[in-house]
């Protein structure tokens, strides 16, 4: 994730007014979180025992709430979107750890009890000089020094910001509205007469921009891809360097990226086995944070990565002035792609046959039992499409588990279509019989 260098120097808030009296349950949680935090910053967990019970009562007062996630401006983002982003972010913070997972310090614990402990510690022993010359003061200074080095909210919550980033992209539609977020670390919050602090994620919205382009005597509308607000970074148009496209070009121009409307339809059609949220994310990051180019024969392609170095397809383009216009989406099986060309050399399937079998869609990779069609499986392995098939399977299992969290079937999804498999198997059997008859 991108980071703001100035924000890295900031640690926890050093002035606070703690909330109501801490319950015994909270004191117990505070103690455990403080131990985890000490381990994570490179100290012994037993260092917390230097402080007396009465001193720990002062240290263990909540002055940080869990992060606030809301729309920056009312009625700019549908409430169900905001609610879902909130719920999924909090769930992530409950189940994922900052630093070494063995220390067991969750992001939610760090954002509340952890930052409160450090803030109270600094305020009492460093700012106010509480009990100077004592072992507690020495321990407080050591902990604060370590925390200054390692606990900067603008940095330690990068993984959480990454999750918010992915969630906002999952709702972003280049032909309608795109979402992002701004961050504040931390912000003072007035609550029931008490003043506390919290991290904030302010969700933003950006309406689409469109333009008409003519190509092969056909005029079509295209939508501008934008990099929406990302933490401390303001929104800006997505661009690509002309030098990256054509290294021998004399001038280097930042070309604005536009996507034609029919490309959006074709992309969703060929990746329809994924949820619409996953499709939105894949499309958006292809032309922003994971923008890459693939030089293949006499053309340049934009790979649509599912994972590192595993493409599910490629986008083609043409250039008009200072704009680059995406004008189609090729499935990975197309002869006009690196993998698809190798597949064609192995199987000699025409474009019509690929479409007839359904191989122009990702659904084919997930629904076909390749073990029943060895010749096809080997061709996919030799053409590197097999890696795409395995990545698609993993992505679908991930989506299935997310959708069916509380169901036993979530751990054992069956994606293979027996009828589809039999249809493809018979095609290759007849093809082989025909080849033998002609030989």
Tell whether 289 is covered by a domain: yes
**β-strand 194-207 against 323-331: which pairing, if any?**
unpaired
Residues 47, 135, single domain; the answer is yes
- Span 213-229, mean pLDDT? 96
Residues 270, 417, single domain; the answer is no
Per-residue pLDDT, 360: 96
Which of 190, 205, 220 terminates a domain? The answer is: 205
Residues 64, 107, single domain; the answer is yes
Decide if pLDDT at 144 tops 70.
yes
Which of 205, 220, 244 terminates a domain? The answer is: 205
Decide if pLDDT at 206 tops 60.
yes
What percent of the chain stands above pLDDT 70? 90
Residue 221 vs residues 54, 72, 287, 308, 382: alpha-carbon distances, Å? 69, 30, 18, 31, 39
Residues 177, 124, single domain; the answer is yes
Q: Which helix (H) or strand (E) holds 347?
A: helix 338-347
Decide if pLDDT at 1 tops 60.
no
Confidence of residue 154 (pLDDT cuts 50, 70, 90): confident
Tell whether 178 is covered by a domain: yes
Q: State the residue for tokens 């999952």.
A: 170
CB atoms within 10 A of CB 49: 12
pLDDT per residue over 48-96, tens digit each? 999 999 999 999 998 899 999 999 999 999 999 999 999 999 999 999 9
Structure-model confidence comparison of residues 28 and 127, the more confident one: 28
Q: What is the DSSP letter of 191?
A: E
Residues 398, 432, single domain; the answer is yes
Mean predicted lDDT score pLDDT of the chain: 89
The widest CA-to-CA distance across the chain, in whole angstroms, is 97
Tell whether 231 is covered by a domain: no
Which of 183, 205, 227 terminates a domain? The answer is: 205
Tell whether 212 is covered by a domain: no
Tell whether 166 is covered by a domain: yes
What range does the domain containing 404 cover?
Answer: 338-438
Decide if pLDDT at 28 tops 60.
yes
- Span 6-32, mean pLDDT? 65
- Span 235-263, mean pLDDT? 93
Residue 8: partners with Cβ closer than 8 Å, 6 or more residues away:
152, 154, 155
Residue 260 vs residues 138, 223, 338: alpha-carbon distances, Å? 64, 6, 24
Residues 157, 284, single domain; the answer is no
End-to-end CA distance of the chain: 59
pTM of this prediction exceeds 0.85: yes
Residues 160, 15, single domain; the answer is yes
Residues 172, 250, single domain; the answer is no
Tell whether 82 is covered by a domain: yes
pLDDT per residue over 267-324, tens digit each? 999 999 999 999 999 999 999 988 999 999 989 999 998 877 899 999 999 999 999 9
Main-chain dihedrals φ then ψ at residue 56, nearest 5 degrees: -70, -30
Residues 326, 342, single domain; the answer is no
- Span 222-249, mean pLDDT? 93
3-state secondary structure of 313: strand
Confidence of residue 6 (pLDDT cuts 50, 70, 90): very low
CB 329 within 8 A of CB 267: yes
Residues 22, 153, single domain; the answer is yes
> How far apart are the C-alpha atoms of 243 and 423, rounded to whole Å?
47
Residues 246, 317, single domain; the answer is yes
| Neighbouring-strand partners of residue 239 | 256
> What total number of domains does the chain contain?
3
Residues 318, 414, single domain; the answer is no
Residue 371: partners with Cβ closer than 8 Å, 6 or more residues away:
377
> How far apart are the C-alpha atoms of 366 and 372, rounded to whole Å?
14
What percent of the chain stands above pLDDT 90? 74
Residue 282, both tokens: 């894949």
Residue 136: partners with Cβ closer than 8 Å, 6 or more residues away:
50, 51, 52, 55, 125, 130
């Amino acid at each position: 994730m991108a980071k703001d260098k100035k924000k890295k120097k900031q640690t926890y808030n050093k002035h606070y007014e703690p909330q109501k009296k801490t319950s015994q349950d909270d004191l117990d949680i505070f103690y455990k979180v403080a131990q985890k935090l000490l381990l994570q910053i490179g100290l012994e967990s037993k260092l917390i025992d230097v402080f007396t019970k009465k001193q720990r009562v002062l240290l263990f007062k909540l002055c940080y709430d869990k992060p606030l996630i809301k729309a920056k401006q009312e009625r700019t983002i549908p409430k169900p979107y905001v609610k879902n982003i909130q719920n999924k972010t909090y769930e992530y913070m409950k189940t994922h750890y900052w630093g070494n997972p063995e220390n067991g310090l969750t992001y939610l614990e760090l954002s509340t009890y952890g930052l409160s402990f450090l803030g109270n510690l600094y305020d009492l022993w460093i700012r106010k000089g509480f009990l100077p010359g004592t072992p507690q003061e020495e321990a407080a200074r050591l902990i604060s020094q370590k925390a200054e080095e390692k606990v900067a909210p603008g940095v330690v919550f990068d993984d959480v910001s990454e999750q918010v980033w992915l969630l906002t992209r999952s709702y972003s539609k280049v032909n309608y509205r795109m979402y992002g977020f701004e961050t504040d670390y931390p912000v003072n919050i007035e609550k029931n007469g008490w003043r506390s602090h919290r991290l904030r994620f302010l969700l933003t919205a950006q309406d689409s921009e469109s333009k008409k382009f003519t190509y092969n005597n056909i005029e079509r509308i295209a939508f501008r891809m934008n990099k929406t607000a990302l933490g401390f970074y303001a929104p800006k148009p997505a661009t690509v360097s002309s030098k990256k496209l054509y290294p021998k070009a004399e001038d280097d121009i930042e070309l604005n990226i536009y996507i034609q409307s029919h490309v959006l339809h074709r992309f969703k059609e060929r990746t329809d086995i994924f949820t619409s949220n996953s499709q939105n994310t894949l499309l958006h990051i292809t032309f922003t944070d994971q923008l890459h180019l693939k030089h293949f024969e006499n053309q340049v392609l934009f790979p649509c990565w599912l994972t590192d170095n595993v493409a599910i397809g490629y986008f083609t383009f043409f250039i008009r002035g200072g704009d680059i216009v995406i004008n189609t989406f090729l499935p990975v099986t197309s002869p006009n792609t690196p993998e698809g060309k190798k597949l064609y050399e192995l199987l000699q399937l025409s474009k019509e046959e690929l479409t007839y079998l359904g191989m122009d869609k990702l659904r084919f990779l997930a629904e076909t039992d390749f073990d029943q069609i060895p010749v096809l499986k080997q061709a996919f392995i030799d053409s590197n499409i097999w890696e795409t098939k395995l990545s698609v399977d993993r992505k679908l299992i991930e989506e299935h588990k997310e959708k069916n969290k509380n169901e036993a079937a979530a751990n054992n999804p069956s994606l293979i279509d027996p009828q589809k498999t039999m249809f493809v198997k018979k095609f290759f059997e007849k093809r082989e019989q025909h080849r033998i008859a002609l030989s």
